[in-house]
Amino acid sequence: MTVKKAFITGITGQDGSYLTELLLEKGYEVHGLVRRASTFNTRRIDHLYQDPHAPEVRLFLHYGDLTDGTRLVGLLEEIQPDEVYHLAAQSHVRVSFDEPEFTGNTTGLGTIRLLEAIRNTGLTCRFYQASSSEMFGAAPPPQHENTPFHPRSPYGVAKVYAYWATRNYREAYGMYAVNGILFNHESPRRGPTFVTRKIATAAARVKAGLQDTVHLGNLDARRDWGYAAEYVHAMWLMLQQDQPDDYVIATGTSHSVRDFAEHCFAHLGLDYRDHIRFDERYLRPSEVDDLVGDASKAEQVLGWKAATHAPELARLMVDAELDSILRPSIPGTPHRASVAVGDKVTT
Ligand code: NDP
Ligand code: GDR
């Protein structure tokens, strides 16, 4: 039996770590793109890391960057993947207002660099683009695959560019290229500056007596929050269909930031109003007020449906934070007695 090969950009991110777990479980050989940093940035996948000298290794990491198209061509030629999951991006909406050009270069142009690298190497691999509900921006809810885009940030604008690049390569070159339009999905592995993780961490630390308050911006924004571990399964399903197509992935329910805070703090017997303070630094020049996804197409065609909704998500994130205060690690990743730190990345 031939082993399928997957290439994941953004393997060190929240989604990359869950997707790697899923694909390894399914028997794939997984190759990930890792940015060179002065410190290791692989903590979310350290529990999956295998000694490259061991027999039957199926996880390989390669240095590279979305801004380096030549490297992407070289890696694709070397790896010859069957499936490419393009998850890497400057993914923070607030930061995209500070770094609009960089965000455009990585989140937008980075996608076309990768598509062009696939085309230039003549690969017939399948391509997944991590599109976002931020593309809908100001469009009223519920949002579905045919809702017109109205992005409200440089990040949203860059994702719209990448979305259309993906569709264009499908139409122009017959590539199996799909957009997963994912609404917010969270987990204990979420980056610490995204609002759900920031709140869950604060609630646990308040409970543990490590801090008393947390500063937030707009508490009235509403989001459709699902669980990242479930959403990566939808990514995989999208690449297993007979025909390439685009899908919204969401829970179909929305909650405000205030609701999420209430759930997190109440889970620990605390009142969020005693611990949340306002700081205008966390406001955005233009905000996305209300996102609620209609994922009925994904349910009908892929057989995918969200199981975890915001209240349960809040509880599981807070529990993981409390656990990590007691046993320091990346919340939501299994504890490992020792992690080898050398030879991780194939140079
Ligand atoms: P993260 O921010 O957790 O991870 C982003 C990943 O991209 C990291 O591995 C990061 O590497 C990598 N990366 C960033 N810039 C570059 C670059 N120039 N070259 C190579 N790699 C780079 O994001 P998520 O896992 O949450 O999201 C995955 C994708 O899905 C992103 O594209 C995001 O925009 C999109 N998305 C996310 C949603 C969500 O709710 N999570 C919803 C919809 C779309 P490093 O670890 O070194 O920083
Ligand atoms: P979002 O996620 O912008 O939806 O993008 P984020 O968690 O950053 O913000 C959600 C909402 O919370 C409000 N908010 C705050 N946000 C942050 N980060 N920090 C705060 O202190 C704070 N206070 C209030 C925000 O204004 C916003 O309304 C995420 C990213 O993962 C994108 O990459 C992805 O495409 C979208 O989700 C779908």
Residue 333 reports pLDDT greater than 90: no
Mean per-residue pLDDT, 296-304: 98
Q: Is the CB of 67 under 6 A from ligand 1?
A: yes
User: Which of 195, 219, 262 gets mutated to test ligand 2 (max ligand atoms within 8 A of its CB)?
Assistant: 195
Within a domain: residue 337?
no
Residue 129 contacts residue 167 (beta carbons within 8 Å): no
Task: Indicate whether 168 belongs to any domain.
Answer: yes
- Using 50, 70 and 90 to split pLDDT, how confident is the model at 306? very high
Q: Label residue 226 by pLDDT band (50, 70, 90).
A: very high
- Is residue 347 situated within a structural domain? no
DSSP of 28-91:
-EEEEEE---SS---GGGTTT---TTSTT--EEEEE--TT-HHHHHHHHHHH--SEEEE--S--
Closest of 18, 15, 27, 30 to residue 180, by C-alpha: 15
High-pLDDT (> 90) share of the chain, %: 90
SS3 127: strand
The strand ranges marked E within the chain are 5-9, 29-34, 59-63, 83-86, 126-132, 177-182, 185-186, 214-216, 222-223, 226-227, 247-249, 255-256, 276-278, 345-346
- The protein residue whose alpha carbon is closest to atom 19 in ligand 2 is 195
Q: What angle do CA 235, 240, 244 make, to 5 degrees?
A: 85
Among protein residues, the one with the nearest Cα to ligand 2's atom 17 is 195
**The pLDDT of residue 53:** 76
Q: Which pLDDT value is given to residue 341?
A: 38
Q: Answer whether 177 contacts ligand 1 (Cβ < 6 A).
A: no
Quick one: pLDDT at residue 241? 98
The pLDDT of residue 344 is: 53
90/286 Cα distance (integer angstroms): 18
Q: How far is the CA of 265 from the centre of ligand 1 (A)?
A: 28
d(CA 322, CA 204): 5
Question: CB of 105 closer than 6 A to ligand 1?
Answer: no
Instruction: Determine the distance separating the centroid of ligand 1 and the alpha carbon of 92, expressed in angstroms.
Output: 8
Mean pLDDT of the chain: 94
CA angle 114, 116, 117 (to 5 degrees): 60
> If you average pLDDT over residues 83-100, what whole number do you get?
98
- Please give the structure tokens belonging to residue 104: 């455009």
Instruction: Provide the domain count of the chain.
Output: 1
Question: Looking at the annotation, which residues are catalytic?
Answer: 132, 134, 155
> Coil, helix or strand for 255?
strand
**Which positions ≥6 away from 249 have C-beta within 8 Å?**
180, 181, 182, 183, 185, 226, 231, 234, 293, 295, 298, 304, 306
Q: Is the pLDDT of residue 262 over 60?
A: yes
Shortest-distance Cα residue to atom 22 of ligand 1: 88
Complex ipTM value: 0.99
Per residue in 129-185, pLDDT tens?
999 999 999 999 999 999 999 999 999 999 999 999 999 999 999 999 999 999 999
Ligand positioned closest to the Cα atom of 9:
1
Mean pLDDT of 100-119: 98
Answer whether residue 203 shows pLDDT above 60: yes
45-79 pLDDT tens trace: 999 987 777 778 899 999 999 999 999 999 999 99
Question: 343 lies in a domain?
Answer: no
> What predicted TM-score, i.e. pTM, was given to this entire model?
0.95
pLDDT at 334: 65
- pLDDT bin (cut points 50, 70, 90) of residue 335 is low
CA nearest 288: which of 141, 100, 106?
141
Neighbours of 94 (CB within 10 A): 17
In angstroms, the Cα distances linking 61 to 46, 67, 88, 183 are: 11, 18, 14, 28
Tokens standing for 23? 């694909």
* Residues contacting ligand 2 via CB (< 6 Å): 91, 93-94, 132-134, 183-184, 193-195, 198, 216-218, 221, 223, 257, 282, 284, 287
The answer as to whether 102 is a domain residue is: yes
284 within some domain:
yes
pLDDT at residue 345 greater than cutoff 80: no
In a domain, 63, yes or no: yes
Specify if 149 maps to a domain: yes
Provide the pLDDT for residue 40: 87
Range of the domain at 73: 5-332
Residue tagged 């122009």 (tokens): 172
Q: Which atom of ligand 1 is nearest to the CA of 191?
A: 3
The CATH number covering residue 32 comes to: 3.40.50.720
Tell me, what's the pLDDT at 1?
72
